[in-house]
Structure 1
Amino acid sequence: MKRQFIAPLLLAGLVLMAGCLSAPLQSTPGASTDGDTTPTITTSGVGEVTTEADLAVIYLSVTATAESADDARGMVAEDVAAVRSALTDAGVADEDIQTTGFNIWPEYRYGERQELVGYRATHTMKVEVAPDQAGEVIDLAVGAGSTSTAGEQFTRAIQVQNVQFTLTEERRDELRSEALQNAVANARADADSIADAANVQITGVQQASTANGYAPSPYYQVEFAEDAAARSGGAPTELSPGPVTVRATVNMVYTIE
């Protein structure tokens, strides 16, 4: 009896194993046993649009040295207020005059021992105006502050660190769209040339990508003497901005047959 009971169970197990071995193999959903063999042509294109600057950015520095930190701070505050007043009176909006930095630090004389000689305070500002106003802003700012005379132990000065001619954000975005269109057209022209030479036909775009490519014009370094004669009189400051180029690059992958 015991042998007769085990034999049917063994036979049933063998039948189940045979069924599993004979079942077809299935791939994981979403997986592919073959690679993508679609033929393609890959090209890149660069597009440029050149225009005149519509924004001037002027960086100013107001500096003073004094015996105490509070005196240096107060002198700088007076000159910054005078600069702001001169610019707003000339029509520059308050929001277009921005502080970019403020520092106060001790100054030392170094010899046999370190000796504290005073404090220096610096207030830096950024002013944004139309390009044709840049020279006027420079003259107003430089002429607005107090003047140090030769021989004074402590000094105060207003300097123009640099001037940059560039584009407003709205104008930049507008021209970038045009530059991208030019870049795509240049990439397609190269792809067409390759396709003609290879005797194939372009059927579509498989992939496209781009990267930032805005190129501002160089800025101008402007330095002024600190004496009263240089601050008063003389011809007005005139600047000649160069063109601004907006550049875009695209990478294109075209399908062919």
Structure 2
Amino acid sequence: MISTRIARSAQVAAIATAFAGAFAAAAAAQDSGAGKADGKGRPDGARGRQALIKVSGEGRATTAPDMAIVQLSVVKDAKTAREALDANNKAMADVLAALKQSGIAERDLQTSGFSIMPQYNYPQNSDGSPRPPELVGYQVVNGVSVRVRDLARLGEILDKSVTLGVNQGGGIEFTNDKPEPVITEARKAAVADAINKARVLAEAAGVSLGRLIELSEQPSRPEPPVPMRSMAKELAADQVPIATGEQAYSVTVNVTFAVNQ
């Protein structure tokens, strides 16, 4: 019985030794070939790895704006919320009617905000300590977003709006109704810029550009709106001067090229 166990142990040890030798031989063969190059002069470890050039390109195109988006508001204060709302409603109705008479279409008028806010006074005692706030009235704000497509009449429209009750302006933004052709020019310029950058990099590295691997466009960066001064009723006697300037559109693309070595 003892001799049989010894024989089996010797057999297992021999099999383990054989496997260990096989693994060692395979590892040695792999190590000996790791530094060898293939037929194209590339190390075996680099096989299947494509050299790439990745660049980004920027393009910008400008055009004259053909539309303005104006934020106008009517603000009214009164002792009661009802009184403030009635006064605001009347003023805003007059403003909207005047805008329509000036050629603004219904689709270009949109309420942009409405609020009723209590107004408080915060008195103090003679020693400077605060007293409970006192309700002194209410304020109603009604805002409207106006798209003006005839820029030649923009100053006139602003004047008329202020005369009829608009006493707060949130801003003005010049834009284009159909900017697609200008954006297309910006895209072409962005791709051309990326290709030029890739060629310069390839030339500096002593290689040549291969096929196009990937081309993508980043989300467009919105141009900052043109700020407009706050309006007050004192401006109603004079037409508001308007400078439309240029509208710019920017496009950024990411491009990846293969490298021919």
Same fold (TM over 0.5): yes
Letter in 2 for 1:252: V
Q: In the alignment, which residue of structure 2 is the partner of 1:213? A: 220
Q: Does residue 237 in structure 1 map to residue 222 in structure 2?
A: no
Given that 2:218 and 2:254 are in contact with CA atoms closer than 8 Å, whether structure 1 keeps it comes out as no
Given that 1:165 and 1:217 are in contact with CA atoms closer than 8 Å, whether structure 2 keeps it comes out as no
Shift of 1:232: 4.8
Shift of 1:215: 3.8
Shift of 1:181: 1.2
Q: In the alignment, which residue of structure 2 is the partner of 1:139? A: 159
How far apart, CA to CA, are the structure 2 residues paired with 1:232 and 1:188? Answer: 54
Given that 1:44 and 1:252 are in contact with CA atoms closer than 8 Å, whether structure 2 keeps it comes out as yes
Letter in 2 for 1:89: Q
Q: In the alignment, which residue of structure 2 is the partner of 1:94? A: 106
Q: 1:176 to 1:117 in 2, by over 3 A?
A: same
Shift of 1:35: 6.9
Structure 2: state its 5+ residue gaps.
Answer: 1-44, 124-130
Q: Does residue 158 in structure 1 map to residue 178 in structure 2?
A: no
Q: Does residue 187 in structure 1 map to residue 199 in structure 2?
A: no
How far apart, CA to CA, are the structure 2 residues paired with 1:237 and 1:221? Answer: 11
Q: How does 1:76-115 map to 2 (within 5 A)?
A: 76-111=88-123, 112-115=131-134
Given that 1:217 and 1:245 are in contact with CA atoms closer than 8 Å, whether structure 2 keeps it comes out as no
Given that 1:187 and 1:252 are in contact with CA atoms closer than 8 Å, whether structure 2 keeps it comes out as yes
Percent identity over paired residues = 30
Structure 1: state its 5+ residue gaps.
Answer: 1-32, 146-156
Q: How does 1:37-56 map to 2 (within 5 A)?
A: 37-56=49-68
How far apart, CA to CA, are the structure 1 residues paired with 2:222 and 2:193? Answer: 19
Q: In the alignment, which residue of structure 2 is the partner of 1:62? A: 74
Shift of 1:113: 2.4
Shift of 1:47: 0.6
Q: 1:176 to 1:35 in 2, by over 3 A?
A: farther
Q: 1:78 to 1:195 in 2, by over 3 A?
A: same
RMSD: 3.4
- Matching residue within 119, 141, 163 for 1:122: 141
Q: 1:206 to 1:122 in 2, by over 3 A?
A: same
Aligned residue pairs total 235
How far apart, CA to CA, are the structure 2 residues paired with 1:35 and 1:248? Answer: 36
Letter in 1 for 2:139: R
SS at match of 1:82: helix
Q: In the alignment, which residue of structure 1 is the partner of 2:5? A: none
**TM score, norm. by length of structure 1:** 0.76
How far apart, CA to CA, are the structure 2 residues paired with 1:77 and 1:213? Answer: 39
How far apart, CA to CA, are the structure 1 residues paired with 2:236 and 2:201? Answer: 65
Shift of 1:177: 2.0
- Describe the superposition over 1:17-37 as per-residue Cα deviations: whole angstroms up to 9, x where unpaired: xxxxxxxxxxxxxxxx98741
Shift of 1:162: 1.5
Shift of 1:195: 2.0
**TM score, norm. by length of structure 2:** 0.75
Q: 1:203 to 1:48 in 2, by over 3 A?
A: same
Given that 1:159 and 1:224 are in contact with CA atoms closer than 8 Å, whether structure 2 keeps it comes out as yes
Given that 1:166 and 1:217 are in contact with CA atoms closer than 8 Å, whether structure 2 keeps it comes out as no
How far apart, CA to CA, are the structure 2 residues paired with 1:60 and 1:96? Answer: 13
